[in-house]
Amino acid sequence: MHAPTPNIHHTTRSRLILSVILLTLLLVSALYPVDAIAQAADDHWTIHLPQNQQATAPVRIVGATAYVDALSFADAIGVDYHRDDLGRYVFSFPGALAIFAPEAAFARLDGMTYQLPASPFKTDSRLFIPEATWVDYVNRFTPGLIALHRSPRALSFTPPESDILEIEADPITAKTDSSHIRLLLTRPQRASLALIDSTHLAVRLPEANPGDFSYAPEENKPGYSWDAEQSRLIIELPRGLYAARFSGPTDDCRYTLTLSFVEEENGTQWDVKTALEADKRKWTLDTVVIDAGHGGKDPGAIGHSGIYEKDLALETALAVREVMRKRLPGIKVVMTRDDDTFIPLYERTRIANRANGKLFVSIHFNSARDRRAHGLETYFLAPARTERAMEIAKVENEVIQYEEQLHDYPDLGDEAFILLSMAQAQFGKESEDLASMVLDGMQDRTGQKSRGVDQAGFYVLMGASMPAILVEGGFLSNANEERLVRSKEYQAKVAESIVDAIEEFVRNHENDS
């Protein structure tokens, strides 16, 4: 039995038809990309709002997956969002953050990491997220009332009656030293703190809708009321307040009040005035620490004539001590060194803290690769804002090469920098003010160019529990300026300028106390 003879004409015709179909698909693909095909199949969500208003959020179908424009959706229902340093989109659902990244298969939702059914994608100013994931999250975590209809795609949204969703407080008893009050709002917004009296605080929320605000006081908990005239939340505390700090909002719309309370003596609570007087006595500006940079085996910068920075810094520091003794005899002057001795950087602020110093001034003279660089600079401790400030800090920090215990110093790009500088952070404003006063005075007295006040990570300032600054009195790398700074007359002007600033700082401190 013979096999049937294939129909050659039928086979050829089938191949021709298939070729035409493939060619047509290729032409369509070339003329209309995948995005355009998806666009043609677009639908949208209709979002119904109060007072008969409505908004829309586009939908795109790609393959078997529906995507929704999350940014339009968030705008419509009042959910704040921003892009973080990694380019991710952070949506501020109250207490339930949502983080999505374009082209990433995972998202961070309510503190957990989830794999998405498909990766989000970005086009123009829109971010498309898999519809099922986004709509489910909106339905679960958007404050207010939501009625959801998936076919046709529609959502009715009624905002919550109050922007203050939750207030939570730690118990406050007679033995409580510190406590926290946490607020959860519908969205991040401007807020500020004000003290009314020793047991009443106000949190001003000018953009908040309080609704029918009512929080009854509980045992050992604060009481709350709303001041409509000034748009502020009034907090009544069961104990006398000593200090309060307000922080927030976090990305998930939380704010935190950190409270500390006045102490009790013999069962009697101090009043605020007594506590403030005690604090004022404690912080009387009675000790200034003068630090002569470098010393001993560390010469610092070396000038054209061969003079060492360590010698000029010491001579100027000693001059400051002499002027202080004459003009401010009631203030004790502590020197980190008064001879040609090597003192490790970490030990300098330890000396200052052990002496209960109230100001720390480290005296230096500058150097630069550019021999034309000249002028005066002052610094305070904070992460460097400019490459120039970073370079100066690097030069001054190189002294650690002469030290034996290098493990005492962190990498300044590390988290340890933040931890070590926390003691100084509370004095940041005072340090910047003092640096500015010294710089202005030096410019007036010497006539030299001011290069400004800057900030950088100087090891010598780390750990100082007081306002602390670093003074650069001129450039040894500039031949003309080196001749100036070598003179006793110039050093005396720098010394007088530092004492002028300390004197002004003392006056301001007394007025503020």
Query: Tens digits of per-residue pLDDT, 405-416?
Result: 444 444 433 333
- The reply to whether 132 and 206 lie within a common domain is no
Residues above pLDDT 70, as percent of the chain? 75
Averaged pLDDT for residues 130-155: 94
Over residues 80-106, the pLDDT tens digits come to 999 988 899 999 999 999 999 999 999
Please check whether residue 202 lies inside any domain of the structure: yes
Please check whether residue 18 lies inside any domain of the structure: no
Chain length of the chain: 513
Over residues 458-467, the pLDDT tens digits come to 444 455 567 8
- The reply to whether 348 and 443 lie within a common domain is yes
Please check whether residue 381 lies inside any domain of the structure: yes
- Domain's final residue, options 104, 135, 158: 158
| Segments forming the whole domain that contains residue 68 | 39-158
Please check whether residue 473 lies inside any domain of the structure: yes
- The reply to whether 209 and 220 lie within a common domain is yes
| CATH number assigned to the domain comprising residue 220 | 2.60.40.790
- The reply to whether 346 and 333 lie within a common domain is yes
Question: What is the pLDDT at residue 513?
Answer: 52
Please check whether residue 5 lies inside any domain of the structure: no
Band (477; pLDDT cuts 50, 70, 90): very high
Question: What is the pLDDT at residue 429?
Answer: 77
Band (2; pLDDT cuts 50, 70, 90): very low
- The reply to whether 412 and 425 lie within a common domain is yes
- The reply to whether 275 and 288 lie within a common domain is no
Please check whether residue 28 lies inside any domain of the structure: no
Residue 308 has pLDDT above 90, yes or no: yes
Please check whether residue 32 lies inside any domain of the structure: no
- Domain's final residue, options 112, 128, 158: 158
Residue 359 has pLDDT above 60, yes or no: yes
- The reply to whether 290 and 262 lie within a common domain is no
Distance CA 164, CA 233 (A): 10
Averaged pLDDT for residues 96-122: 94
Distance CA 288, CA 361 (A): 8
Residue 385 has pLDDT above 60, yes or no: no
Averaged pLDDT for residues 492-505: 96
- The reply to whether 276 and 314 lie within a common domain is no
Residue 246 has pLDDT above 80, yes or no: yes
Please check whether residue 1 lies inside any domain of the structure: no
Residue 285 has pLDDT above 70, yes or no: yes
Enter the tokens of residue 141.
């975590």
Question: What is the pLDDT at residue 108?
Answer: 94
Question: What is the pLDDT at residue 95?
Answer: 93
| CATH number assigned to the domain comprising residue 462 | 3.40.630.40
Averaged pLDDT for residues 114-133: 94
- Domain's final residue, options 280, 297, 321: 280
Domain count, the chain: 3
Question: What is the pLDDT at residue 424?
Answer: 41
- The reply to whether 395 and 501 lie within a common domain is yes
| CATH number assigned to the domain comprising residue 80 | 3.30.457.10
Question: What is the pLDDT at residue 512?
Answer: 58
- For helices 428-446 and 415-425, the axis angle rounded to 10 degrees is 80
Alpha-carbon dihedral angle through residues 209, 212, 213, 217, given to the nearest 10 degrees: 180
Distance CA 394, CA 285 (A): 31
Question: What is the pLDDT at residue 510?
Answer: 66
Question: What is the pLDDT at residue 85?
Answer: 84
Tell me the average pLDDT of the chain.
80
- The reply to whether 351 and 240 lie within a common domain is no
- The reply to whether 349 and 366 lie within a common domain is yes
Q: 281: exposed, middle or buried (C-beta count within 10 Å: 0-12, 13-18, 19+)?
A: exposed
Distance CA 155, CA 149 (A): 6
- The reply to whether 227 and 84 lie within a common domain is no
